[in-house]
Structure 1
Amino acid sequence: MMNKAQTTILIIVAIFAGYALGQQYPLKAAVKTSQTASVSSHPFLADHTSTAPFADVWQNLHDQFIGTLDDNKLDYGAVAGMVRAAGDPYTTFFDPDQTKQLKETLSGSFSGIGAEMGVQNGFIVVIAPLDGSPAQKAGIKTGDIIAAVDEKNITQDMSLDEVVRQIRGPKGQTVILSVIHKGETAPVDISVVRDDIAVPSVKLEVKNNIAHITLESFDNNTAAQFTDIAKQIRKQNVRGIVLDLRDNPGGYLESAVQIASQFLSPGSVVVSERGKTETMHRASGGGVLRGIPVAVVINHGSASAAEILAGALLDNIKAPIIGTQSFGKGSVQEVLDMIDGSSLKVTIAKWYTPSGTSIDKEGVKPTIEVKDDEETKQDEQLDRAFSEIE
């Protein structure tokens, strides 16, 4: 029987990649590796007499193909193709090995280049390189379009997760990315040496009695780390908080709700999910930072759960939003575990801010637009946020 993983994730990331047929269609376990297998020997075909194209292709492949067939790979490939045909870049099937990678990513530790990826206007783009990551050190930038990986062109029929799997690999190995920088037309090749990526989650710096909290992601431990920092801040009696969500690609929805709860009154709407049904996610408990002035900083690399948090603080307590328009990843994915160790990441809903604004493809618009000048050492966005508190 299908087991529902207790995770609802909002990821442009990207780095997630499912054997979706559950107990009725156990494709992995049912097929024999034989070129003479009959059509009726496949439970999927036996139970689904209307699936003539699948049956014909499966049978003819085994009758005519001169090479060796791995029925296990054929089954997973068929399921992956079915999921891909849904036409949603964030709905993806993961075989058992890919599922293991997915769970490593969600735990906040994996091996790769350290860049979150997403889909925009049909292209695979970099949402944000992680601070101090191999990608950042090599020159990968927010907004870069990934044109090729190791000289293999990225085609429009490739899913986000397929591209991410090509980019990831063992520590110490080099991957060559052909990228088109924002505003450019010609690709450039950038070599990146893969390394272990431990995703930092929460950072705190107190300056002029103003707490500068940087959220790098929303992983398994982010909410707990944030709660500890919130208690420190309350004891220090700071004048205000600058919440820095720049280049934060998102992560767990639950983490964003728990963090928002530290600022909001119990029962306040943080975000609503609208899919087959509508679910309202509300603030509960917490409230450690309630009443402390807060300014939020975002940019185009702020996505998913970061946009949820920014929208919740804007709509509920009129927190000023400083920076540039966020990415606009407004769909909700749920990870379903299958009995064979594979998984399905499926888009189940769109999300809306408390005021009813959809963020999908539009992003969160700043109340105070400030562009960061890359030609200067000054952080114009952060400076403006501090001035809002002072």
Structure 2
Amino acid sequence: MAITKQGIVLGATAAMLTAVAVAAAGIHSPSKAFFQESPKELVDEVWQVIDRSYVDGTFNQIDWRNVRQEYLSKNYTNREDAYKAIRKMLEKLEDPYTRFMDPAEFKSLQVETSGELTGIGIQIAPDEKTKRITVISPMEGTPAAAAGILAKDIVDKVDGKSTKGMDINDVVSLIRGKPGTEVTITVLRNNQQREFRVKRARIEVHPVRYSYQKTPTGGIGYIRLVQFSANAGAEMRNAIKDLESKKVNGYILDLRSNPGGLLFSSVEIAQMWLNEGTIVSTVDRQGQRDLERANSRALTNKPLVVLVDGGSASASEILSGALQDNKRATLVGTKTFGKGLVQSVRPLGDGSGMAVTIAKYFTPKGRDINHAGIAPDIVLELTEKQKQQLVGDRTKVGTPGDPQYDKALSVLNQKIAASRGPRAESVR
């Protein structure tokens, strides 16, 4: 599977409650008019995409050809009937990341490109065990993050309507709305209900934020990456080059609450930190393994500490796993989300689309992090009070008022001192 700049996504295939253009995967589909006249052909097109590309060749232990006969033997009077049938057909795979989107939903899918977003700024997906709609991560600087919604929160109700047993597309439709309007989100956190009234907004997202910070061991670079969008690589490159020009002694890379994004972006950014070694391997249903490696073009070899948490998913796990397995960085925080699947976003002929799981990915040491996540080298859990303090005052993130950052800084200072050798330690 070649990693290109279009169509191959990781975290973004869960529903992102925003509205932007979608990067197409470029498959050949019949004309829109054709599907309007023959909605049964749309059902067959979706079946064929799964038949050709789906990662599990057993199709969740079901006879996929019989499924085709079952759904093509039915009559569909309009596209809406076909849409319902397609969703029922895909449910047989029991894969929350493989899903169908009608034209409006497809236009609203955020595949981590640049641009202005509209929504509350959370990424959600059905939990693979409980099937409950779960927050993968709130995007930093969005209404959801400001309200206090956290990764792993279960979306229990939207405007008082229970989401239990509801399709993710229906939940998305309830949460979306015009900027300036409000929606009430009731979540379950540690089996307790919490209610948030959130105002929808237009959100301009810049994936990278960074700063030069003075420490007892000299200047260090703090870089926060909030999503792996198409322009994340360029912004990361500019940040590292600027901080290198300021002669920093080391770096803290903050991937907390980063839900993922484009696969090529995670590889591109990993190559900025790694001079050699494997970054990630992807395996399709034929067992064909493709490797992505460092290209001897790292921008820095200075000490690095990476912050991760339960909201660090997909592309974040590829990057942190590559840095950990290659012993390039020390990971600090809590276990990551645990999503080790790769999706391709496909447009369909009537303006609808689908996301289909096409491969699994593994860290350089062959770790399958799906469900398991990546365990940090140094675990530091935040208390509920500490989480709320950071949510209430985002200016504390990446400062000594942020306990996980403070720990990362302590670890980085030790790494910097060690890199200078015994003489530097005796002076200190």
Do the structures match in fold with TM over 0.5?
A: yes
Aligned to 2:34: 29
The 1-side partners of 2:230 and 2:245 are apart by: 25
1:64 maps to what in 2?
A: none
Aligned residue for 2:119?
112
Structure 2 residue aligned with 1:86, among 93, 115, 119?
A: 93
Cα contact 2:43–2:85 (8 A) shared by 1? no
Partner SS state of residue 323, structure 2: helix
Determine the structure 2 residue equivalent to 1:144: 153
- CA drift of 1:130 comes to 2.2
Q: CA deviation at 1:213?
A: 0.5
Q: Alpha-carbon deviation of 1:247?
A: 0.8
Q: Which amino acid aligns with 2:321?
A: G
Cα distance, 1:42–1:309 mapped onto 2, change above 3 Å: closer
1:184 aligns to 2:195 (yes or no): no
Q: Deviations over 1:103-156 (max 9, x none)?
A: 576435321111222333322222222223211232322321101222332133
Q: Percent identity?
A: 34
Alignment correspondent of 1:62: none
Which residue does the alignment assign to 2:395?
none
Task: Choose the corresponding residue for 1:216, options 208, 221, 226.
Answer: 226
Quote how far apart the aligned CAs of 1:258 are: 0.6
The answer as to whether partners of 1:104 and 1:110 remain within 8 angstroms in 2 is no
Q: How does 1:1-390 map to 2 (within 5 A)?
A: 6-11=6-11, 14-15=14-15, 29-30=34-35, 32=37, 53-54=70-71, 57-58=74-75, 71-103=78-110, 106-120=113-127, 121-122=129-130, 123-156=132-165, 158-159=167-168, 161-181=169-189, 183-185=190-192, 187-208=193-214, 209-266=219-276, 268-276=277-285, 277-284=288-295, 286-289=297-300, 291-375=301-385, 378-390=401-413
SS in 2 for 1:350: strand
Distance in 1, matches of 2:184 and 2:156, equals 11
AA aligned to 1:170 is K
Deviations 1:268-308 (A, max 9, x none): 2111111222111122363112x111011111111111111
Cα distance per residue 1:142-196 (max 9 Å; x no partner): 321101222332133623x442333222211222212112x233x3432211111
Q: Gapped runs of 5+ residues in structure 1?
A: 34-40, 60-68
TM-score computed with the length of structure 1 as normaliser:
0.83
Q: Which one-letter code corresponds to 1:58 in the other structure? A: N
Q: What's the TM-score once normalised by structure 2's chain length?
A: 0.76
Q: 1:100 to 1:260 in 2, by over 3 A?
A: same
The 3-state SS of whatever aligns with 1:6 is coil
Conserved 8 A contact 2:42-2:349: no
Q: How far did 1:351 drift?
A: 1.1
Separation in 1, partners of 2:157, 2:302: 47
Structure 1 contact 12–303 (Cα < 8 Å) conserved? no
RMSD: 3.2
Q: CA deviation at 1:53?
A: 4.8
Deviation at residue 218 of structure 1 after TM alignment? 0.6
The amino acid that maps onto 2:34 is A
Shift of the alpha carbon at 1:226?
0.4
SS of aligned partner of 1:249 = coil
Please give the alpha-carbon distance, in whole angstroms, between the structure 1 residues aligned to 2:368 and 2:248. Answer: 33
* 2: CA distance, partners of 1:125 / 1:45: 28
The CA deviation at 1:370 is 1.1
Q: Please, which runs of 5 or more residues in structure 2 have no aligned partner?
A: 48-64, 390-400, 414-428
The aligned counterpart of 1:66 is none
Alpha carbons 1:176, 1:190 under 8 Å: kept? yes
